[in-house]
Amino acid sequence: MLQSFFDGLVLIVSFPAILYLFAGILLGLWLGIVPGLGGVTGMVILLPFTFGMEPAPALAMLLGLFAVVSTSDTVSSVMLGIPGTIASQATVLDGHQMAKRGLAQTALGAAFFCSAFGGVLGGIAMALSLPIALWIILAFGSPEFFLLSLLGLVMVGAVSGNAVSKGIGAAALGLLLSQIGYPVASSTPRYWFGNPDLLDGLPLVPIFLGLFGIPEMMELAARRTSIAHIGDTRAENDSLLQGVREAMKNKWLAIRCSLLGVYTGMLPGIGSAVVDWLAYGHAVQSAKDRSQFGKGDIRGVIGPESANNAVLGGSLIPTLAFGIPGSGAMAILLGALTIHGFAPGRSMLETNLDVTYSMVWTIIIANLIGAAVLAVWGRQVARAAFIDGNLVVPAVIMFIFMGSWLWQPSMFTWIVLLSVGLFGYLMKTGGWPRPPFILGFVLGPIMENAMSITYQSYTPLEVIQRPTVLILLAVVSVVFFLAVKQTRKRLSDFNIEITRESRGSLYLSSLMAVIMCVVFAVAIWLALDWTPLSRITPIFVGIMGLITMAFVIGSDFTKQRRFARAEDGEAGGTIGGFLAENRSELAIFAMIAVMVAATPWIGTYAAVIAFAAFFMKFWGRYSLLWTAVYSFGIWVVLYVLYDRMLHTRFEPPFFL
């Protein structure tokens, strides 16, 4: 085995494999920075180029690309508050707040170091875990997947800050929306209201891009400033090296979260969509002082970034050992293996062990090189925090909308993106934490599928006799106990969403709670006539949501009375007054909505370019020359990147 390990290294560092590895790394770094693209898009683009290549260079290029996407996606998470990919959602919470405080370099330095560390540890752990990995994978069945999803939901309290009841309600709404479409145990679709676009459920990419991206751009445009709030200079102690020091200071957190990423990655269907939230929850719950989480705590960057890069090493094991891809990227890699004559299974762990270890070395080398390249450019990247926000907003809006369009090219995708964007803004301004919503949406299908299969395949006695079930039950119980204990001691008094609480925001929060009560009640009523396996999850989620909303309304009512009694309480505590305070943000949203509404009439090109030109001239107040140059740049990106390179199907004008 040791000889195969070093043979794998020779396969990677020999010519021309090393050149293809570098090419994959550079493309992966770029894809990770652009919101909505990610590693799957890159692997789809590169796969045809691997036909006819030798296996080692082909796999090195594909894996090299995918390995570094989870490193470079940190850039948009920290600088813009928009997850570059689904694997960097949790990094937004504290990383973006650090950038706003002028600590972008510190956040990026810690993130790059932990990403490299997690990726290397993930590769090493994969190599060392091969003897036990098969046992772990075979030991996990549907009961274990259900409990692991339940563990993720228990973490809702950790990503809700001091608004736990609102966090549970947001998670319940996310769970409910994940029920749209065909369930695993029935051929009757749920909550589709006669719209064929809803049969496959709501698309994930527009959900997380809209929830985080559009509200941040609305706020940035309304402020008419740079991303950082401290003027045109960074904080005195901000540097990449300071970020590395902070990562070293919290080395045990990085190690624990990296191992969490490896062993979560082994489980098909979980992976990077969930592990960053699990790591963030662990960072919060293991911290003695939690007051700075959500405000720019470096540990909120270290945990998720250590975990999401370690996932790849773990996810390779079921792909190579059983031919079970746990994600879209692993499905593409499985196709590449088949094209080059490799069959997943025993041969990859015996006859072709050197090829398997070459993938381990690819992960290690790619993570080290990717982090080093980004560290060299870190200072330049961090300077973007001080660029005029009016130059940032139109380009980022284009990337958000085109990134969503890539995954499902239809106007329905943009409508979902726009709707979720408005909802995300209302959540943020009303004091509702957004992370629990996306956590519930991601975990909903995993949990329901596991529960349905368990119900049909196991008896209760068989479930409780499984050792792994008992272990996970103990873990869930301990985590739940600690969460309740910390909440009762008020150690969770920290903010995930930085909002200015006023009487207007409380009225908005209460109105949202009332509307969500109606949504939950209607969802329960519609589910009553469905089959037992189809209705049990929506009804349970609806009941949980109704109970939670009662707590939210009661809590908001108490706070409203406190504001009314306070001598210095803010006047104008009406929704109308609150909307007047936020008219700039709503004006930006109206511009974006007009762009979406105009697209079916004038086409994608004209709508996006017109939005950019209008924003630059009338909102940014730039000259006609600057507006023309900027708009031309938008056209170049649309044409070169999305049209010619990615072959995106644009919406044509109505007259064509």
Comparing CA positions, the residue from 303, 301, 305 lying closest to residue 286 is 303
Q: Which residues contact 124 (CB under 8 A, 6 or more apart)?
A: 313, 360, 364
Q: Enumerate residues 6+ apart whose C-beta is below 8 A from 492.
A: 157, 158, 160, 161, 162, 164, 290, 486
- Number of H helices and E strands in the chain, helices first, is 28, 0
Identify whether 467 is preceded by a cis peptide bond (ω within 30 of 0). Answer: no
Q: pLDDT confidence of 623, banded at 50, 70, 90?
A: very high
Contact partners, residue 89, CB within 8 Å, separation at least 6: 77, 83, 208, 212, 276, 277, 435, 438
Averaged pLDDT for residues 257-270: 77
Q: Measuring CA to CA, which residue among 109, 116, 85, 81 is closest to residue 95?
A: 81
Taking the mean position of all CA atoms in its chain, how far away is CA 387?
25
Of 296, 284, 324, 341, whose CA–CA distance to 492 is shortest?
284
645, burial (CB in 10 Å: exposed 0-12, middle 13-18, buried 19+): exposed
3-state secondary structure 337-396: HHHCCCCCCHHHHCCCHHHHHHHHHHHHHHHHHHHHHHHHCHHHHHHHHHCCHHHHHHHH
Q: What is the rounded average pLDDT of the residues 512-524?
A: 94
CB of 101 within 8 A of CB of 296?
yes
273 pLDDT band (50/70/90 cuts)?
Answer: low
287 touches 299 (CB < 8 A): yes
- From the number of C-beta atoms within 10 Å of its C-beta (0-12, 13-18, 19+), residue 636 rates as exposed
What gap in Å lies between CA 389 and CA 405, rounded to an integer?
A: 24
Q: Say how many C-beta atoms besides its own lie within 10 A of residue 299's C-beta.
A: 26
Per-residue model confidence (pLDDT) at position 502: 60
pLDDT at residue 516 in the model: 94
**Residues 6+ positions from 445 with CB-CB distance below 8 Å:** 178, 184, 201
What pLDDT is recorded for position 151?
Answer: 78
Percent over 90 (pLDDT), the chain? 17
Q: Which two tokens stand for residue 289?
A: 């002082």
User: pLDDT per residue over 94-131, tens digit each?
Assistant: 888 888 888 888 888 898 898 888 888 877 877 776 66
pLDDT tens per residue, range 538-583: 999 999 999 999 988 888 887 777 666 654 544 445 666 667 778 8
Tokens of 8: 């794998």
Tens-place pLDDT, residues 10-44? 888 888 888 989 988 888 888 887 776 666 777 77
Residue 590 — pLDDT band, cuts 50, 70, 90?
A: very high
What pLDDT is recorded for position 617?
A: 92
According to the 3-state scheme, what is the secondary structure of 520-553?
Answer: HHHHHHHHCCCCHHHHHHHHHHHHHHHHHHHHHH
Does the pLDDT at position 655 exceed 50? yes
Helix (H) or strand (E) holding 642: none
**Whether 27 contacts 69, CB under 8 Å:** no
What are the distances in angstroms from CA 298 to CA 219, 254, 366?
23, 12, 24
SS3 content of the chain, % helix, strand, coil (to 5): 75, 0, 25
What mean pLDDT is predicted for residues 62-74?
A: 84
Examine the pLDDT at 632 and tell me if it is beyond 90: yes
DSSP H/E element including 82: none
Q: CA 122, CA 128: separation in Å to the nearest integer?
A: 10
The token pair that represents 92 in the structure block? 């937004």
Cα–Cα–Cα angle for 250, 251, 255, nearest 5°?
125
How large is the average pLDDT for residues 234-246? 78
Q: Could you give the count of Cα atoms lying within 13 Å of 155 in the half-sphere of its Cβ?
A: 28
What is the band of 235 on the pLDDT scale with cuts at 50, 70, 90? Answer: low
Q: How many CB atoms lie within 10 A of CB 117?
A: 25
How far lies 151's CA from each of 333, 477, 566, in Å?
A: 29, 9, 41
Tokens found for residue 497: 């969403």
Give the number of other Cβ atoms within 10 Å of residue 381's Cβ: 20
Contact between 447 and 270 under an 8 Å Cβ cutoff? The reply is: no
**What would the mean pLDDT of 424-428 be, rounded to a whole number?**
90
Q: Is the pLDDT of residue 62 over 70?
A: yes
Cβ pair 36, 408 in contact under 8 A:
no
Best CA proximity match to 209, nearest among 28, 428, 389, 424: 424
Q: Kindly tell me if the per-residue pLDDT of 379 is higher than 80.
A: no
- The DSSP-derived string for 91-129 is HHHHHHHHHHTT-HHHHHHHHHHHHHHHHHHHHHHHHHH
- What is the overall mean pLDDT for the chain? 81
Q: Which amino acid is at 62?
A: L
Most confident of 159-163, 216-220, 498-502: 216-220
**What is the residue whose two structure tokens read 């792909």?**
319
How far apart CA 578 and CA 559 sit, in angstroms, is: 16
